[in-house]
C-alpha cells in the first residue's frame, strides 16, 4: 500500500541535509521514465465544475486493478497527489528512490529524503519525500512518499473525439492524507497538478506517450456540462466541426522557479481597460511597466485584484454601466458590485455590459472579457461583477470564472500561452465529442 507520513519536528534537520545532498546525487540510482502501452495522437481528460466548492474536476483511471479517481484541477500544481491513507490499494504501486530521476525533477524546496523501512519483498532504502497541499486558504500540507503506479486515460483522434484508453505504467504521484481533502469538492481523492514541472500531469503523460509538451484547457461554464483538457497539442475540434487551434492569440508566460509547492503561470499585463478607459494602477503595483505577478489560477473562482486596483476598476465599471442604463443593486458577498439583471440585454456573449480588456505584453495583444465571463448571476434579479477585492496581497490573479468557455493552450516547451477569448460566437467548451 502507498504511504503518507505525519510531519515530525525531528524531520526538519533531515530535510535540509538531504536537500543539499540531492543537488549532488540526483543523477544516481535513476528510476525509469514513464512507459506506455501505445503512442496515441493525443490525450483527453474530462472536466466538470463543482457548484458548491467552485472547483474544476477531472478524472483518471489509476492503480491495479484500475479505479477511477476524481481529482481537483490545479493549474499551478507540481504533481498529482491522492489520498493514500484511506483505501488506496494497488499491486503495482512503488515508492520511488530519493536519488532517482523522477525525484530529481521536483523543486528542491518540495522534496527530501527519508528512510523507508524494509517490507516483505523489498529492502529498506531512502525514499523520495514530498509535501502535498490542498492550496486552499488556511489549508494545510502533509508529507508522503513519491510513488509510481499505472495510469490510464482516453486517447484523442484527430482532435475531435475520444479513442481507446491508453496506459502509462510508471506514473509518479504524491501520497497525501485524508485530512487534505477538507474543503475540496465532495468525492474527490486528490489534486491533479498541471504546472510547468517535470512531474506534472501533462509533462509526465507527454513523456510517456512521446507527444508534444503542450496541453489545452477548456473549462465548462455550467455544472451540468463537461469541458475538456487536451494533452499533446492540436487540432482542437469542437462540434459542429470548429477547429479552435486557428483562433489563438499568443502571449509569453513565465514562472516563479523558487515558489514553494507551486509556480503559477504568470503573464505580462500592461494595463486594464473598461470600455476603452484605462484603469489607473499605483506605482507599488507595477514592475517595469507591468502589473506585478499577474497570474492564472484555477483554484481561485473569481479574478482577484489588489484593493487599490479594484477600487479604481470597479468605479469605472459602475460609471460605464450607468451609461448603459444598468441599475446598481446592493452588494452580495463575495462581490462588491452588483446590478439589476432586468436592465441587462442578453447576447451570445452574455449580458451586454462594459467590455473589460487586459492589455498584455504589447498593445496589440488583448484578452477581451465579455459579459459571459465578467458577470455572475447570483439570483433571478441580481448579477454581480465577478471580480473581488484581494486586499494588499496579489495584484492580479485571473480566476476560474474568467477562464470558462475560453480555450487556453499552454506550450511548456515554448513557454507560450494561447487563448481564444469567449467561445460564445462559435461553440462552447462542452461541445467536445466524448463518445465513450
Q: Do the domains spanning 42-233 and 248-419 agree at the CATH topology level?
A: yes
With bands split at pLDDT 50, 70 and 90, how would you rate the model's confidence at 110?
confident
User: Is residue 13 pLDDT above 90, yes or no?
Assistant: no
Q: Yes or no: say if 424 and 372 are a contact pair by the CB < 8 Å rule.
A: yes
What is the pLDDT of the chain when averaged over all its residues? Answer: 89
| Grid coordinates belonging to 190 | 486528490
| pTM of structure | 0.90
- Dihedral of CA 89/92/98/103: which sign? negative
The residues near 352 (Cβ < 8 Å, ≥ 6 apart) are 324, 344, 345, 346, 371
Q: What percent of the chain has pLDDT over 90?
A: 77
Please tell me the number of Cα atoms within 13 Å of 232 on its side-chain side.
22
With bands split at pLDDT 50, 70 and 90, how would you rate the model's confidence at 2?
low
Q: Which phi-psi region, left, alpha or beta, contains residue 350 (left: φ > 0; alpha: ψ -120 to 50)?
A: left
User: Is residue 119 pLDDT above 80, yes or no?
Assistant: no
With bands split at pLDDT 50, 70 and 90, how would you rate the model's confidence at 257?
low
Q: Are strands 295-296 and 356-359 parallel, antiparallel or unpaired?
A: unpaired
DSSP code string of 354-405? --EEEE-SSTT-EEEE-HHHHEEE-SSSEEEESEEE-TTS-SEEE-GGGTTT
Q: Yes or no: say if 83 and 204 are a contact pair by the CB < 8 Å rule.
A: no
**Coil, strand or helix at 244:** helix
pLDDT of residue 116: 81
Name the CATH superfamily housing domain 248-419.
Acid Proteases (2.40.70.10)
Largest alpha-carbon pair distance within the chain? 74
Q: Where are the domains of the chain?
A: 42-233, 248-419
User: Is residue 132 pLDDT above 50, yes or no?
Assistant: yes
pLDDT of residue 140: 81
CB atoms inside a 10 Å sphere around CB 107: 18
Give the CATH fold of the 42-233 domain.
Cathepsin D, subunit A; domain 1 (2.40.70)
Out of 5-19, 110-124, 373-387, which region has the weakest mean confidence (pLDDT)?
Answer: 5-19
**77 forms bridges with which residues in the sheet?**
262
Out of 33-47, 70-84, 147-161, 191-205, which region has the weakest mean confidence (pLDDT)?
Answer: 33-47
Per-residue pLDDT tens digits for 44-97: 999 999 999 999 999 999 999 999 999 999 999 999 999 999 989 999 999 999
Per-residue pLDDT tens digits for 321-333: 999 999 999 999 9
Taking the C-alpha atoms of residue 23 and residue 16, their distance in angstroms, rounded to an integer, is 11
Amino acid at each position: 500500500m502507498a504511504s503518507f507520513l505525519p510531519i515530525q519536528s525531528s524531520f526538519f534537520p533531515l530535510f535540509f541535509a538531504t536537500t543539499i545532498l540531492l543537488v549532488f546525487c540526483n543523477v544516481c540510482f535513476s528510476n525509469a521514465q514513464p512507459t506506455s502501452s501505445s503512442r496515441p495522437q493525443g490525450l483527453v481528460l474530462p472536466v466538470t465544475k463543482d457548484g458548491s466548492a467552485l472547483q474544476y474536476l477531472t478524472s483518471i483511471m489509476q492503480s491495479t486493478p484500475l479505479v477511477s479517481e476524481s481529482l481537483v484541477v490545479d493549474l499551478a500544481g507540481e504533481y498529482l497527489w491522492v489520498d493514500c491513507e484511506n483505501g488506496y490499494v494497488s499491486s503495482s504501486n512503488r515508492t520511488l528512490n530519493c536519488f532517482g530521476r523522477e525525484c530529481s525533477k521536483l523543486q528542491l524546496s518540495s522534496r527530501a529524503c527519508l528512510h523507508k523501512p524494509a517490507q516483505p519483498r523489498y529492502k529498506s532504502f531512502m525514499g523520495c519525500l514530498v509535501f502535498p497541499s490542498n492550496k486552499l486558504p488556511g489549508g494545510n500540507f502533509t508529507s508522503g512518499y513519491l510513488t509510481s503506479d499505472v495510469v490510464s486515460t482516453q486517447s484523442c483522434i484527430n482532435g475531435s473525439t475520444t479513442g481507446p484508453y491508453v496506459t502509462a505504467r510508471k506514473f509518479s504521484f504524491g501520497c497525501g492524507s485524508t485530512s487534505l481533502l477538507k474543503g475540496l469538492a465532495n468525492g474527490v481523492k486528490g489534486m491533479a497538478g498541471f504546472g510547468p514541472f517535470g512531474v506534472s500531469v501533462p509533462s509526465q503523460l507527454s513523456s510517456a506517450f512521446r507527444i508534444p509538451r503542450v496541453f489545452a484547457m477548456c473549462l465548462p461554464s455550467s455544472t451540468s456540462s463537461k469541458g475538456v483538457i487536451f494533452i499533446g497539442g492540436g487540432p482542437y475540434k469542437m462540434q459542429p466541426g470548429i477547429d479552435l487551434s486557428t483562433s489563438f492569440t499568443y502571449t509569453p508566460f513565465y514562472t516563479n522557479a523558487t515558489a514553494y509547492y507551486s509556480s503559477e503561470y504568470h503573464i505580462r499585463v500592461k494595463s486594464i481597460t473598461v470600455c476603452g478607459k484605462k484603469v489607473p494602477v499605483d506605482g507599488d503595483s507595477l514592475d517595469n511597466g507591468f502589473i506585478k505577478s499577474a497570474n492564472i489560477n484555477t483554484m481561485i473562482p473569481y479574478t482577484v485584484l489588489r484593493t487599490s486596483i479594484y477600487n479604481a476598476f470597479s468605479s469605472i465599471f459602475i460609471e460605464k454601466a450607468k451609461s448603459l442604463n444598468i441599475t446598481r443593486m446592493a452588494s452580495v458577498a463575495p462581490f462588491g458590485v452588483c446590478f439589476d439583471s432586468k436592465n441587462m440585454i442578453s447576447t451570445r456573449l452574455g449580458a451586454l455590459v462594459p467590455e473589460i480588456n487586459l492589455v498584455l505584453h504589447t498593445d496589440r495583444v488583448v484578452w477581451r472579457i465579455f459579459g459571459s465571463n465578467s458577470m455572475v448571476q447570483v439570483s433571478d434579479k441580481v448579477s454581480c461583477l465577478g471580480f473581488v477585492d484581494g486586499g494588499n496581497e496579489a495584484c492580479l490573479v485571473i480566476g476560474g470564472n474568467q477562464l470558462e468557455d475560453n480555450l487556453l493552450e499552454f506550450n511548456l516547451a515554448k513557454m507560450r500561452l494561447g487563448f481564444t477569448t469567449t467561445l460564445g460566437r462559435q461553440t462552447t467548451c462542452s461541445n467536445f465529442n466524448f463518445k465513450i
